[in-house]
C-alpha cells in the first residue's frame, strides 16, 4: 500500500486577478525537478483565455499532443530533456508566478504528482516512503525554515505548517 499526499498553500499573494497565486514560488522548481526522476510524461492545463501561454508550449515543444477540452487547453507529451528544460525554465511569468493552471507528472500512464490551481495545491499519488520523506522534509525546510533530521513524531504531530510566508495544510490518505 502507498500513500497519497495533498498539500494546500493557504497564504496567497494579494492580486487583482481571479486566480489565487502563492506569494513566492521558490519552492516550485526544486519540488518538480525532484519528481522528474520518477515521471515519464507530463500534461499541462491552461484556461482558454490564456491561449498565449498555451501557444508558448505548442511552439516550444512541437511534439506535444494538444487538445481543447471545453474551457481548458491541454498539452501532453513525453517528459524528455527538452520538456524538462521547458518546464523548469519557462514555468514562471514576468511577475514570478506560475503560468499554468495545472501540471501533471505521470509514470506509465498513472498520476504521480500534480501542481494545480496555479501551484497552490500540490498532490502526490501512490508515493513510496522515500518520496513522502522527501516532501515532508522539503516542506519543513522550505516553508518553516527548519533543517536537519526530523523524527516521525515531529513531522506527523501537525497537519498545519506555519511560516512567515506560508500556511500549509496537508493530509495523507492510503492508496490501494
72-78 vs 121-127, strand pairing mode: unpaired
pLDDT of residue 13: 61
pLDDT of residue 16: 60
How far, CA to CA in Å, does 45 sit from each of 27, 133, 152, 175?
A: 20, 28, 35, 25
CB-based contacts of 96, cutoff 8 Å, min separation 6: 24, 25
pLDDT of residue 14: 62
* Tens digit of each residue's pLDDT, the chain (176 residues): 688 888 777 666 666 666 677 777 888 999 999 999 999 999 999 988 888 888 999 889 988 998 887 888 999 999 999 999 999 999 998 988 899 999 999 999 999 999 998 888 889 999 998 998 898 888 777 766 544 443 343 333 344 444 434 445 555 555 55
Burial of 175 (0-12, 13-18, 19+ CB in 10 A): exposed
Q: What is the pTM of this model?
A: 0.81
pLDDT of residue 54: 87
Distance from chain centroid for Cα 11? 16
> What's the farthest any 2 CA atoms get from each other in the chain?
48
Amino acid at each position: 500500500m502507498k500513500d497519497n499526499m495533498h498539500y494546500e498553500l493557504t497564504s496567497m499573494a494579494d492580486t487583482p486577478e481571479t486566480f489565487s497565486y502563492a506569494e513566492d514560488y521558490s519552492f516550485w522548481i526544486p519540488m518538480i525537478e525532484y519528481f522528474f526522476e520518477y515521471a515519464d510524461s507530463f500534461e499541462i492545463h491552461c484556461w482558454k483565455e490564456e491561449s498565449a501561454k498555451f501557444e508558448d508550449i505548442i511552439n516550444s515543444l512541437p511534439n506535444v499532443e494538444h487538445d481543447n477540452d471545453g474551457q481548458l487547453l491541454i498539452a501532453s507529451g513525453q517528459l524528455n530533456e527538452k520538456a524538462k528544460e521547458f518546464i523548469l525554465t519557462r514555468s514562471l511569468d514576468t511577475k514570478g508566478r506560475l503560468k499554468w493552471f495545472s501540471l501533471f507528472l505521470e509514470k506509465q500512464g498513472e498520476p504521480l504528482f500534480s501542481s494545480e490551481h496555479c501551484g497552490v495545491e500540490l498532490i502526490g499519488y501512490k508515493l513510496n516512503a522515500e518520496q513522502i520523506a522527501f516532501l515532508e522534509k522539503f516542506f519543513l525546510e522550505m516553508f518553516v525554515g527548519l533543517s536537519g533530521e526530523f523524527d516521525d513524531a515531529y513531522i506527523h504531530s501537525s497537519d498545519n505548517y506555519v511560516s512567515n510566508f506560508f500556511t500549509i495544510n496537508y493530509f495523507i490518505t492510503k492508496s490501494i
